[in-house]
């Protein structure tokens, strides 16, 4: 028996947590007493059964709590729960594998799991009609080429079918769709008006008319374009005029966009928070400068590659976006030591940044970066200087003197000029450092490694590799000194079984590559 009662004053229970609450006393009867479990709804909508039940009674802005009272003598609890309750539970499962496991419990759950499924992946266009029947409530659709093929078989007719049969989807991923054209994208632009996220990869035939048509998806917040060679300025300008709510824009190997396109994005998309420009030939100093004229809301910026000298435009963009939290510059050869100097003179650049990745940055300048760290308002948590050959002991000493208490992760892989003095300085200066990687710091020897163990009291994870001057006894001494170490990764170095046993005896996870 399943009985729903209103959560009014009559039950007298406080709705703070989900709990099994004993029901009202049953009158004495001959024979066995029935077992009754009462599941009480609560006000925390994302974490428990009670919240799920509360959502079933929601109507408009009014929410009515209710209690399910289950008589367990009538059978297993999964048989007593109504379909809508099980569906609501299954909808809370984020992992697809877990959702599929629930679907094999029984035939009933299999059907309910299909009703609850919100994300579906397809590899063949001919499967779309069947997917629509099996998963009528699908909101996220991934179309990708089979693993054994480079290209998929999705055509413009398939996109027309999606715009007709999946018109309420909020997320669409098109990967390996080489043969779709402007006509297909125009179908999406006219039919999928609830679209919030769109990702396209290897769309080689579609061009500006198709991109412009996507501007009709006014609710679009995220756009990712990878290896789409025919999209250019005209299409992006028209697109940005329609999708003014865009918050995320990722462009990879899209070489036809110039400063005009990014200027339009900055001017029309006032809420842009996440920008990626990866290996785009149009990433120039002028492009970044024009973007900075209107864009001031960035929280994440990822730039890889670039054309020409980027100094002036890069600093203008960073100075304009003072709330930036994540910065990644990968192989930006156009950002020179002069640009780092300009960055140090900026008052607003990187003052709120939490994560900085300067990967293989040829123009790295120790003094300028130290100035940037000093200006940071105590928020910096992760720094990755992988492959920055300009990083030296002198720079590490300066960093350590800043006493950045918020820094938790530091990567110095490939910084071959850093020796014992450098690593000892950062170990002593960054008191809350938990994760350190010095793979390829070839000047560090046993003394430097042991100094890390002594000074980095909070260190939990370290990656060491390709350190020719570090010996097995040095690793053993480091393990002995580093009291809180949880994970030790050793790459391309010899480590004895005795040292491995010592690490494991201290509860440390050892990874030897």
Domain segments of the chain as ranges: 2-24+34-113, 118-234, 381-513
Structure tokens at 356: 């900085």
CA distance 503 to 486: 9
pLDDT (0 to 100) of residue 414: 96
Q: Decide if 444 contacts 470 (C-beta within 8 A).
A: yes
CA 76, 78, 83, 88 dihedral sign is positive
Interior/surface letters 406-428, b for 16+ CB within 10 angstroms, e for the rest: ebbbbbbbbbebbbbbbbbbbbb
pLDDT (0 to 100) of residue 63: 45
pLDDT (0 to 100) of residue 84: 76
Class of the CATH-defined domain 381-513: alpha beta
pLDDT in tens, the chain (513 residues): 333 333 333 344 444 443 444 444 455 445 555 544 444 444 334 334 443 444 444 444 444 445 556 565 666 666 767 777 777 776 777 776 767 777 777 777 777 777 767 788 888 888 898 888 888 888 899 998 766 566 678 899 999 999 999 999 999 999 988 899 999 999 999 999 999 999 999 999 999 999 999 999 999 999 999 999 999 999 999 999 999 999 999 999 999 999 999 999 999 999 999 999 999 999 999 999 999 999 999 999 999 999 999 999 999 999 999 999 999 999 999 999 999 999 999 999 999 999 999 999 989 999 999 999 898 878 999 999 999 999 999 999 999 999 889 999 999 999 999 999 999 999 999 989 999 999 999 999 999 999 999 999 999 999 999 999 999 999 999 999 999 999 999 999 999 999 999 999 989 999 998
What is 118-234's CATH superfamily?
Answer: Ribonuclease Inhibitor (3.80.10.10)
In degrees, to the nearest 5, what angle opens at C-alpha 250 toward C-alphas 248 and 255? 145
**Helix H or strand E encompassing 328:** strand 326-330
CA 25, 29, 33, 34 dihedral sign is negative
Topology match between the domains 118-234 and 381-513: yes
- pLDDT tens, residue by residue, 218-272: 999 999 999 999 999 999 999 999 999 999 999 999 999 999 999 999 999 999 9
pLDDT (0 to 100) of residue 233: 97
Residue with tokens 């940055």: 361
CA distance 315 to 327: 12
Return the number of other C-beta atoms located less than 10 Å from residue 402's C-beta.
Answer: 16
Interacting residues of 131 by C-beta distance below 8 A, sequence separation 6+: 120, 122, 138
Burial class (CB in 10 A: 0-12, 13-18, 19+), 23: middle
Whether pTM > 0.85 for this model: the answer is no
Closest alpha carbon to 387 in 418, 423, 367, 415:
415
pLDDT (0 to 100) of residue 48: 42
pLDDT (0 to 100) of residue 136: 85
Interacting residues of 500 by C-beta distance below 8 A, sequence separation 6+: 510, 512
pLDDT (0 to 100) of residue 53: 42
Strand partners, 175: 144, 201
CA distance 454 to 444: 15
């Amino acid at each position: 028996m399943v009985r729903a009662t209103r959560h009014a004053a009559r039950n007298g229970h406080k709705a703070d947590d989900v709990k099994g609450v004993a029901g009202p006393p049953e009158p004495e009867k001959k024979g066995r007493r029935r077992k009754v479990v009462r599941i009480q709804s609560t006000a925390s909508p994302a974490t428990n059964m009670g919240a799920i039940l509360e959502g079933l009674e929601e109507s408009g802005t009014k929410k009515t709590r209710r209690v399910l009272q289950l008589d367990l003598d009538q059978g297993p609890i999964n048989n007593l729960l109504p379909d809508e309750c099980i569906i609501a539970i299954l909808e809370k499962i984020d992992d697809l594998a877990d959702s599929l496991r629930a679907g094999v419990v029984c035939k009933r759950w299999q059907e309910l799991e299909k009703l609850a499924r919100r994300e579906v992946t397809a590899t063949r266009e001919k499967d779309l009609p069947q997917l629509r029947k099996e998963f009528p409530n699908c909101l996220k659709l991934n179309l990708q080429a089979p693993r054994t093929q480079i290209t998929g078989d999705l055509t413009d007719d398939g996109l027309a079918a999606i715009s007709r049969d999946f018109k309420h989807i909020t997320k669409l991923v098109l990967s390996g769709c080489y043969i779709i054209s402007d006509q297909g994208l125009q179908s999406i632009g006219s039919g999928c008006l609830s679209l919030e996220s769109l990702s396209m990869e290897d769309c080689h035939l579609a061009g500006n008319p198709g991109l412009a048509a996507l501007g009709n998806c006014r609710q679009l917040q995220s756009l990712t374009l990878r290896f789409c060679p025919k999209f250019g300025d005209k299409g992006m300008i028209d697109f940005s005029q329609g999708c003014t709510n865009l918050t995320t824009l990722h462009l990879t190997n899209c070489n036809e966009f110039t400063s005009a396109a990014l200027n339009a994005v900055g001017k029309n998309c006032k809420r842009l928070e996440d920008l990626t420009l990866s290996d785009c030939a149009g990433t120039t100093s002028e492009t970044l400068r024009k973007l900075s004229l209107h864009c001031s809301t960035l929280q994440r910026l990822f730039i890889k590659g670039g054309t020409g000298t980027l100094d002036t435009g890069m600093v203008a963009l960073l100075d304009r976006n003072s709330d930036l939290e994540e910065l990644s510059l990968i192989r930006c050869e156009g950002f020179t030591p002069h640009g780092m100097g300009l960055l140090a003179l900026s008052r607003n650049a990187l003052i709120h940044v939490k994560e900085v990745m300067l990967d293989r940055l040829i123009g790295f300048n120790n003094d300028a970066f130290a100035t940037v760290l000093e200006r940071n308002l105590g928020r910096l948590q992760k720094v990755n200087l992988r492959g920055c050959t300009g990083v030296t002991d002198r720079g590490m000493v300066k960093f350590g003197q800043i006493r950045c208490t918020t820094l938790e992760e530091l990567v110095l892989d490939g910084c071959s000029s850093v020796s014992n003095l450098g690593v000892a300085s950062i170990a002593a200066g960054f008191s809350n450092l938990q994760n350190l990687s010095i793979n390829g710091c070839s000047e560090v020897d046993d003394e430097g490694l042991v100094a890390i163990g002594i000074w980095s009291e909070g260190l939990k994870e370290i990656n060491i590799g390709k350190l020719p001057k570090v010996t097995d006894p040095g690793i053993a001494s480091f393990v002995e000194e580093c009291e809180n170490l949880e994970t030790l990764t050793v790459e391309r170095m010899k480590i004895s079984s005795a040292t491995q046993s010592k690490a494991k005896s201290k509860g440390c996870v050892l990874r030897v590559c």
